[in-house]
Structure 1
Amino acid sequence: MQQFKPVTKQDGAKLRRYYKDCNYGLCEYSLGTKLMWKKTLHPAWAEIAGCLVVRNWDAGGWNFDYPVPGPEGDVDAALRAIEAYCLEAGQLPVISMVPEHKAGELLGRYPYVRVSDIRTWRDYVYYREDLQYFTGRRYSGQRNHIKKFRAQWPEAEVRPLTAENAGAVEQFWKDYEAEFPKGDNAKALDELKLAKKMLKLAGKPWFTAGGMFDGDKLIALALAERCGDTLIIHIEKALYSYTGVYPAFVQAFALAFGGNCQWIDREDDAADKGLRTSKLQYGPAKLAPKYRFEPMNELMRHIKEIPKVETARLTLSALTEKDIPAYNALVLDQERNRWWGYDDVAGLGGPVEERSFFDVARRDFESHLAVNFAVRLEGKLIGEAVLYNFDCRGGAELGCRIDKACAGNGYGVEAFTAAAEWGLYKLHLGRVFAKCFKENQASYKMLSACMRKHGEDETFFYFEKLV
């Protein structure tokens, strides 16, 4: 399984190799957001196929940022790696905070998917020139506030924040807390703590830090990060006692540090009414959506119970408690199952009990992970066919094993073909795939009789059957 490493500031240079040129235009695709909210989202990262892949923890499960490619990055390969990682972990591959211009690719990738676009996730994104110049009637309010501010503090100016300003920054936080209007808001206080901690990274080359000074007194500060053509504002604070300081500072900071970027992202509003009102007043060019894709497999969409499938000689149906003795004998036949490709006993993770394998099969179906068909001859269980490894892209793997007493009669081909065609034409899969060990000539002949060979490696031959 792919190894992910928790994001730390020591990883900053490695992550910035990807984020510095990333044009997704969302605050989640930045080092600052990963560091600031790491105790909430627990981000971990890996480099896969030339892409940065970040795994987050949210709402009791993993979700993944859309891969950020480097110069030679292969996003499709990175997505396949995410899908394989989730498949191995027994969960669905949730891709979250997907930028709008990438959403169509995922809609085309997953046949069945739930898509969310929650209003409070959206970032406030502005044209750089709008915040630099506040031109036009819609910005008359900002210009009036700036005019009043300049009348009282004409010498106030924005300068870069460096280590030499440590004393001024410390005093700013004291002044800010003294007039902080949300002192009884636990969420706001937590965010303030994070902001103070993040500002200590101002000296790092990854960030741009600036402050507005009234003489030697710091009256506003901000920490930003350039990602592609967007300047992302991670922290933006000012002393409320300086009337008009916010629009004056927003404009002056954009002029000083906006450079030639196209956009300025002032992040989301965290469902805070005051923040929403304020950020809307600055006339965002767009509220950038962030899509969450939760792929589903065909079992989740179409199947409530395992059906009965009949062939000329066989019946495929759900396992029952009456099958337990015969099913256990099938599963515990070590000599025959050495070619099965999966160790049922080790997979239990505990002692073998009478109902162990039956219960695993039942739970896998209830969890939408697999369909275990009992293969019956004249009502007696003689094997099983299993559809599993649903990849959420229209594919599933098929395996089949027949009791040694019934081998050599073509029952494997018959059961395998029936299960594959049920998957393709009743479950609405687009592809059924299978593999066999190269030494297993019996399985090779069986698969060749009902599927198309699709490659090989040092260990396996691979086969597939398409609609």
Structure 2
Amino acid sequence: MDFKPVRAEDKETINKYLQHVSSRSCDMSFAAIYLWKGFYHVEYVECEGMIVFRSNEEKTSFSFPLGAGDPKKAIDKLMEDCREKGIPLVFHGISREMEQYLEENYPGKFEVEFDRDIADYVYETQALIELKGRKYHGKKNHINKFNKTYDWSYEAITSENTQECLDMLKVWKSQNCAPEDLEKHAEICVSEASLKEREFLGLKGGLIRVDGKVVAFAVGEKIHPDTFCVHIEKAFADVQGAYSVINQQFLVHEAQDCKYVNREDDVGDPGLRKAKLSYHPAFLEEKGFAVYKES
């Protein structure tokens, strides 16, 4: 099978298949695939009316076939191709529905394991906007204190203020990135690209100013008819409440028409997990791996 790298000019081709995917996963958009293609070494192939992505990060793995075609035909071809190349067939980003499909069509042939570290946190949008009730009392206090302490404003990210966000990100990087933290550096590269290529990727952006200076920004997109996804969120930690305010205000201005907001995974980081749980997710969008067991 002739896999090829994901390029900007492939946007229309890839979206032709992704439009048939009904998923709240943060990974199921051209923007997410394009932004992370360098880190995960993503390639794709069109096969049996479907599209399959291949990731060559550490070990080779594949996306479940996506599109309007017959997944089984594409899976059978993948099995044959992997057999010829002497590599195991491993699917990444498997949902519960995909697990069920594999079991129905290949009973007992796939070993599926879900990874808590890569599960997306999905929240009710209005809950994060309104922050009602005792469970959000601390969050509401952070915002109230921010309102009293700072002269601040919100604005959409445009071509006129993008450079200010990039400048803010450069300072954020100097404060938060250790030289040996390759994943954090990859995240910064993705953040930069999301700002520079925001319009091409169809992303929305918002920022917070304090005394005229950008102290926080967020970038995201609608990934499902009822779900908005926040791909990037950055704020200066020394501006108390900035994270809470950009979290709320970005949704107020960009996601009011969506029932849910996906705030992505916690990558197994204990601090990040605690922070994401403190916002009380409606549910986790589970993702896992499926390994074909050769008989």
TM-score of the pair, normalised by structure 2 = 0.89
Give the distance between the partners of 1:262 and 1:21, measured in 2 at CA.
20
| Match for residue 232 of structure 2 among 235, 238, 253 | 235
1:267 corresponding residue in structure 2: 264
Specify whether residues 81 and 160 from structure 1 end up closer, same or farther in structure 2 by C-alpha distance, changes over 3 A only.
farther
Greater relative contact order (Cα 8 A, min sep 6): structure 1 or 2? 2
2:16 corresponding residue in structure 1: 17
Give the distance between the partners of 1:177 and 1:91, measured in 2 at CA.
38
1:161 corresponding residue in structure 2: 157
1:96 corresponding residue in structure 2: 92
Q: How many residue pairs were aligned?
A: 292
| Match for residue 109 of structure 1 among 90, 105, 111 | 105
Name the SS of the counterpart of 2:13 in structure 1: helix
Kindly indicate whether the alpha-carbon contact (under 8 Å) linking 1:146 and 1:248 is maintained by their aligned counterparts in 2: yes
Kindly indicate whether the alpha-carbon contact (under 8 Å) linking 2:218 and 2:246 is maintained by their aligned counterparts in 1: no
Give the distance between the partners of 1:113 and 1:74, measured in 2 at CA.
18
For residues 306-317 of structure 1, the aligned pairs below 5 Å read none
2:61 corresponding residue in structure 1: 63
2:280 corresponding residue in structure 1: 283
Specify whether residues 76 and 132 from structure 1 end up closer, same or farther in structure 2 by C-alpha distance, changes over 3 A only.
farther
2:149 corresponding residue in structure 1: 152
User: How much identity, in percent, do the aligned residues show?
Assistant: 28
Q: Is 1:43 matched with 2:39? A: no
Give the distance between the partners of 2:20 and 2:150, measured in 1 at CA.
38
Name the SS of the counterpart of 2:197 in structure 1: coil
Which deviations, in whole Å up to 9, do the C-alpha atoms of 1:320-344 show, x marking residues without a partner? xxxxxxxxxxxxxxxxxxxxxxxxx
Kindly indicate whether the alpha-carbon contact (under 8 Å) linking 1:22 and 1:227 is maintained by their aligned counterparts in 2: no
| Match for residue 241 of structure 2 among 224, 227, 244 | 244
Name the SS of the counterpart of 2:69 in structure 1: coil
Kindly indicate whether the alpha-carbon contact (under 8 Å) linking 2:151 and 2:211 is maintained by their aligned counterparts in 1: no
Which deviations, in whole Å up to 9, do the C-alpha atoms of 1:71-109 show, x marking residues without a partner? x43333332332233233333322221112322111223
Kindly indicate whether the alpha-carbon contact (under 8 Å) linking 2:89 and 2:292 is maintained by their aligned counterparts in 1: yes
Specify whether residues 94 and 174 from structure 1 end up closer, same or farther in structure 2 by C-alpha distance, changes over 3 A only.
closer
1:338 corresponding residue in structure 2: none
Name the SS of the counterpart of 1:212 in structure 2: strand
Name the SS of the counterpart of 1:163 in structure 2: coil
Give the distance between the partners of 2:130 and 2:19, measured in 1 at CA.
26
2:51 corresponding residue in structure 1: 52
Give the distance between the partners of 1:185 and 1:90, measured in 2 at CA.
34
Give the distance between the partners of 2:184 and 2:271, measured in 1 at CA.
12
2:205 corresponding residue in structure 1: 209
Kindly indicate whether the alpha-carbon contact (under 8 Å) linking 2:109 and 2:292 is maintained by their aligned counterparts in 1: yes
Structure number, greater radius of gyration: 1
Name the SS of the counterpart of 2:200 in structure 1: coil
1:254 corresponding residue in structure 2: 251
Q: Is 1:80 matched with 2:76? A: yes
Name the SS of the counterpart of 2:89 in structure 1: coil
Q: CA deviation at 1:232?
A: 2.0
Give the distance between the partners of 2:279 and 2:7, measured in 1 at CA.
34
1:8 corresponding residue in structure 2: 7
Give the distance between the partners of 2:32 and 2:249, measured in 1 at CA.
23
Q: Which runs of 4+ in 1 moved over 6 A?
A: none
Specify whether residues 290 and 170 from structure 1 end up closer, same or farther in structure 2 by C-alpha distance, changes over 3 A only.
closer
Q: Which amino acid in the other structure matches residue 270 of structure 2?
A: K
Q: CA deviation at 1:33?
A: 2.8
Kindly indicate whether the alpha-carbon contact (under 8 Å) linking 1:211 and 1:218 is maintained by their aligned counterparts in 2: yes
Q: CA deviation at 1:31?
A: 2.3
Which deviations, in whole Å up to 9, do the C-alpha atoms of 1:338-363 show, x marking residues without a partner? xxxxxxxxxxxxxxxxxxxxxxxxxx
Kindly indicate whether the alpha-carbon contact (under 8 Å) linking 2:142 and 2:244 is maintained by their aligned counterparts in 1: yes
For residues 424-435 of structure 1, the aligned pairs below 5 Å read none
Give the distance between the partners of 2:54 and 2:218, measured in 1 at CA.
28
1:198 corresponding residue in structure 2: 194
Kindly indicate whether the alpha-carbon contact (under 8 Å) linking 1:161 and 1:202 is maintained by their aligned counterparts in 2: no
